[in-house]
Amino acid sequence: MMQLMNDRLFCCCNPFQIIMLMNNGHININRKKRNRLILNVMKLLITGAIFYYIIDKYIQYNDFLTALKYIQPWMFIYLLIISLIFRYLNAYQIHYYFKKAFNSKLGTNFVFKAQLISSFYGLVLPGDLAGGLITWYMISDKSGGKAASASVIIFLRLMSIITLITFTAIGLVFEEKLIDINLRVYIIILAVLFLLMFIPFVSSKAATIMKQFSRAIIQITPAANWRHKLVQLSNKLWDSVITCTNVDLGVMLWTVSMSMLCHLFLILFTYLLMIMVGIDLPFQVSVWLIGAINLVQLLPISFAGLGVRDISIIYLLGKYYHVAPESSLILSTFFLAFSLIFTLMGGMAIWLQSSGHDVNNKIVGKSINLKEKRDESEKIGKG
């Protein structure tokens, strides 16, 4: 039927119209490629400019070689284990909440693999948002619920950010050296904003109000052809959010506890990493430092936070704790190194998945051929 409709459409169009449609399609694809290329070039230029500034203003070659001598490589394996626990616990949190809220089992290993793959794509795509979209696509493809997957990912992402901001605020409260830059005020504003965004996920009344508000906004949009579809998508999303609000209090508390535990592992990782590179600072510094680094890396202006993270660590630790910029640069480099380890694991998972898919196709093809041969032999025998 679809082929017949396509044939009719093809016949109704004259050759000039067909050529114009094909040209428009090619133009749109080329425009997207060009825009993506421009964006990547801009990211490279920004990253290069920041690194040039860092090396020219802060880094001394001899001091950098001296700082390298303070690295304790034996701690690398312990930090890798902590980082692995943190990521696997995060995957279990998504599996657990999805199971309790929507009675659908994803599997912790599957979610862990999906996060690795999303980190690989997020290296070149626009940052954290792209990673979330890849994770959503894989989870929704397995569970069959696009709106449910989106609501769980958004809910847990907001919870993670709120936990991050909360611990960062706690760290800043006990750090008197940072009073003069008024970070506490900005952190409190961010915390209030994210708490307001979090309310519909824990209150069915708030979620219902947001559902009606979203529908009213869509109804006044000028795109009349898309209104009905947008209303349907909005209703499905907010119905899934309302389902999230109906989970047991015990499930919610356990989910919050896992989010806090994940962040504690992240703080411990940061503190031990500073010790590994020879930076001797109090534990509370790692409490707020990892929050500042993560908030800075949300800016999609460079690849994997390159340059932006480095200059932030050099400035904060140098100005307020008199840490040598060479040591701060080494610290930032190891942050990148551990991130790249799991990014490369995601790339390997993609390669193995594609290879395994090909093998499965071959196995299925062989099974079909054997079945066909068996059926033919049975027909010959009956004949």
The pLDDT value recorded for residue 199 is 74
Which residue ranges make up each domain of the chain? 46-349
The pLDDT value recorded for residue 270 is 93
Crossing angle of helices 325-382 and 61-68, in 10° steps, is: 60
282-320 pLDDT, tens digit per residue, is 888 898 888 888 877 777 677 667 788 888 899 889 888
The pLDDT value recorded for residue 339 is 86
Q: Is 299 left (phi over 0), alpha (psi -120 to 50) or beta?
A: beta
Residue range 357-379: mean pLDDT, rounded = 45
Contact 242, 208 (CB under 8 A): yes
Of 79 and 180, the structure prediction assigns the larger pLDDT to 79
Token representation of residue 31: 């425009």
Token representation of residue 65: 């070689």
The pLDDT value recorded for residue 24 is 53
Token representation of residue 371: 């079945």
Q: By three-state DSSP, how is residue 359 classified?
A: helix
Of 33 and 64, the structure prediction assigns the larger pLDDT to 64
Q: By three-state DSSP, how is residue 278 classified?
A: coil
Token representation of residue 148: 């449910």
Cα 280 → chain centroid: 31
The pLDDT value recorded for residue 136 is 75
**Which amino acid is residue 273, in one-letter code?**
L
9-23, 185-199, 368-382: which is most confident = 185-199
pLDDT band at 26 (very low <50, low <70, confident <90, very high): low
DSSP 129-164: HHHHHHHHHHHHHHHS-HHHHHHHHHHHHHHHHHHH
Contact 313, 328 (CB under 8 A): yes
Task: Please state, for a pLDDT cut of 90, what percent of the chain lies above it.
Answer: 13
Averaged pLDDT of the chain: 75
pLDDT over threshold 80, residue 365: no
pLDDT over threshold 90, residue 78: yes
In 3D space, the residue among 282, 293, 287 whose CA is nearest the CA of residue 263 turns out to be: 287
Cα 194 → chain centroid: 17
pLDDT over threshold 60, residue 277: yes
CB-based contacts of 253, cutoff 8 Å, min separation 6: none
pLDDT band at 80 (very low <50, low <70, confident <90, very high): very high
d(CA 39, CA 130): 14
Please count the other Cβ atoms lying within 10 Å of the Cβ belonging to residue 209.
14
Of 196 and 85, the structure prediction assigns the larger pLDDT to 85
Contact 150, 129 (CB under 8 A): no
186-221 pLDDT, tens digit per residue, is 666 766 776 677 677 667 777 777 777 777 777 776
The pLDDT value recorded for residue 84 is 92
How many CA atoms within 13 Å lie on the side-chain side of 149?
Answer: 19
Residue range 322-331: mean pLDDT, rounded = 92
d(CA 311, CA 333): 11
Of 364 and 270, the structure prediction assigns the larger pLDDT to 270
109-118, 147-156, 184-193, 271-280: which is most confident = 271-280
d(CA 142, CA 98): 12
250-260 pLDDT, tens digit per residue, is 888 888 889 88
Residue appearing with tokens 């997957």: 149
**Which amino acid is residue 184, in one-letter code?**
R
Please count the other Cβ atoms lying within 10 Å of the Cβ belonging to residue 298.
12
